[in-house]
Amino acid sequence: MEVKRIDIKEFRELGCLHELNRQFLHPLGLALEVVINDETGEESLGGIWDSRDDPEGIRYTELDTEKVKRFGKFRNSRIGKRVLALGYVIQPAQGELASQEWIAGFVQGGLDRLAIEVERGDWRE
């Protein structure tokens, strides 16, 4: 089976890089970097910044709320299908069971966010 790969620019524009860094890597003092070639505009993964010696970790000085929204819509479009297919969002470690309470809470939280987005008119692409 051939592995499909997402273009780094699309990964960044979907907000995946932003939210991977904000939600997972930054609290650990790490950040994944994308490098944009000045001449060609081609984007590639750079390195991983290491600020593990900083007790606060890393944080954005200003959040890109459009990327947060864009990623939220992308994530929400995928999660329901994954839960239906697999019974979980995040793959449980060996011996761990997907918590039904967590799934129910996650789904309800998603429905609550969707209701707010619909009310504000933010749910449309």
pLDDT at 125: 46
Would you list the domain boundaries of the chain? 8-50, 65-120
pLDDT digits (tens, 9 = 90+) for 58-78: 999 999 999 999 999 999 888
Q: What is the pLDDT of residues 82-111, one digit of tens each?
A: 888 888 788 877 766 555 555 666 666 666
Does residue 35 carry a pLDDT above 50?
yes
- Quick one: pLDDT at residue 109? 65
In 69-100, which positions are buried (b, 16+ CB within 10 angstroms) versus exposed (e)?
A: ebbbbeeeeeeeeebeeeebbeeeeeeeeeee
- Encode pLDDT of 3-18 as tens digits: 999 999 999 999 999 9
Predicted local confidence at residue 80, as pLDDT: 83
More confident of the two residues 117 and 71: 71
Alpha-carbon distances of 104 from 8, 79, 87, rounded to whole Å = 33, 12, 11
Q: Which distant-in-sequence residues (6+ apart) come within 8 Å of 70 by Cβ?
A: 13, 14, 15
